[in-house]
Amino acid sequence: MMKRNLLFIIAFLVYVLSFGQGELDAYRYSNNDLSGTARGQAMGGAFGALGGDVTGVAINPAGIGIYRSSEILANMSLASSLTGGNTIQESNTKFSFDNISSIIYYPLIKGSMLSLNFGFNYNRIKSFDHTYSASSAGMKSSLTDYIALSTNGIYNSSLDDDPYNNSNIPWLSGLAWYGGLINPKENSSNEYVSLLDENELVSPSLKVSEKGIIESYDFTIGSNILDKFYWGATFSITDISYRMTSNYDEKFLDVSGSGFNLWNYLETQGSGFQFKLGVIYRPVDALRIGLSYHTPTWYTMTDYFNASITPRDIYIDDKEVGKQYTPDDAYINYYFRTPGTLTFSIAAVLGERASMSLDYENKNYSAMNLKDNNRYNLKDVNSLMSEDYKSTSTVRAGVEFRFTPMFSGRLGYAWAQNPYQSDIKATGKVVETVGTIPHYTLSGDVNYLTAGVGFRFTSRFYGDFALVFRTQKDDLYYFSPVVVNGAEADSFQGTFTNQTLKGLVTLGYKF
């Protein structure tokens, strides 16, 4: 075998072309958690037609027209992840400020427009904090099988030259080549096989730690027309901060002490903007009907990444292979567009005692789009997203009952459909992941059960409390279930339940 020399002459253009964005990462940045005030979340987030709460204004900007006074508020939460399934989630309890909002009510003296209201809302719309681990014994397929198949078509000479300075070579292939994890197929210069024998068993383990948030800064204007028609418009600035560290370790069972460890680091920073438009119509006092549209969010994104493979008891030319690294300080800039969102809402307000509300939201995830730094479409991954994703439905429902003028109780439920086409789990289907990260999860439907109470301490000062229980079943894969030696790769670790219990407190003052 030729002696392999690693060169570190890296150009920025190569970073852009060789480290691809993943379709699952696009989804991660496009879907949001249930968010808003304690009152709004206690009612399942179903505030698209009710208005008069910053949760509703974030869903339907026309909700700002319902306000009859000015208001400031702050919302705090304490969230804890729970363990479920055959994947271990580490306990992670975190306190955060989720909302800081101000509404300015400005009554008008003449004309059919009764008020013109303005609002600012800082909203933490998603948290990425999640730590989990998994392991398997006696798996029939190895990550090295997957890498060998991914490397097919690349000539040995290109790998020997410098895989990190060639836009046609996946960086994971370069790591595996220099780490001795893949070998050339006999009598071929561009086909590869794992260093393991066919049917050799391995024991993999995986640990993943994710951190970060998506934050939105909303600037809203809206009005009340004759207490019948309400309109609103919002301009939003959104920031993304995400960090992921993973360790995938594989033990080769036929040779004690042999195997390898793949370490990955990914950091994503992004900022974007979107517009929201909405209307609410009140044909009679007890009924409100709402319609809102959120444009896509147009993001400018930067990924920072680093990876290494540490072989154990693996030799090239009778010399034990040492730790292999991708180039330091690698990054790419790109553009990302999320799907737009259409929401239909209806609410019944039964005098001063009770209200019921229902929201239906539609979002087409196949419309997600990625572009490179020169604003050219990344056709391969965009094509995969159009194949693998679909339009989804989200339903939110809530009720509120005022027991006394000073005390209210609330209940709610929300369901969000997963966005995947059924064939994304098909045998031989390659799921596009980012860079050198082979593992991924396919998220299931999300269910929220919510409850809360509200107190009016004075005519101006109030406090709300809510509990939100979130549950979701996710499928974890060590790598794509490609076909190896005529059989599906044994890369599916299993389904696990991802659960979170969150407590919220909102304090507000009307003036």
Three-state SS string across 48-98, please?
Answer: CCCCCCHHHHHHCHHHHHHCCCCEEEEEEEEEEEECECCEEECCCEEEEEE
In a domain, 389, yes or no: yes
Give pLDDT tens digits for 122-181: 999 999 998 889 999 889 899 999 999 989 999 999 999 888 888 789 999 999 999 999
pTM for the full model? Answer: 0.91
**pLDDT reported for residue 484:** 73
Q: Is the pLDDT of residue 354 over 70?
A: yes
Q: Is the pLDDT of residue 88 over 70?
A: no
In a domain, 460, yes or no: yes
Distance in angstroms (rounded) separating the CA atoms of residues 35 and 50: 16
Give pLDDT tens digits for 26-38: 999 999 999 999 9
Distance in angstroms (rounded) separating the CA atoms of residues 489 and 478: 10
* Amino acid (one-letter) located at 274: Q
In a domain, 1, yes or no: no
Structure tokens at 281: 């119509």
Give pLDDT tens digits for 419-452: 999 888 776 778 888 889 999 999 999 999 999 9
CATH code, 200? 2.40.160.60
Structure tokens at 425: 């789990």
Give pLDDT tens digits for 384-412: 899 999 999 999 999 999 999 999 999 99
Q: Is the pLDDT of residue 15 over 60?
A: no
The pLDDT confidence band at residue 4, using thresholds 50, 70 and 90, is very low
Distance in angstroms (rounded) separating the CA atoms of residues 475 and 188: 36
The rounded mean pLDDT for the chain is: 91
In a domain, 5, yes or no: no
In a domain, 425, yes or no: yes
In a domain, 2, yes or no: no
**pLDDT reported for residue 380:** 86
| Domain membership of residue 474 as a residue range | 12-510
Domain count, the chain: 1
In a domain, 118, yes or no: yes
Q: 472 - beta bridge partners?
A: 446, 498
In a domain, 246, yes or no: yes
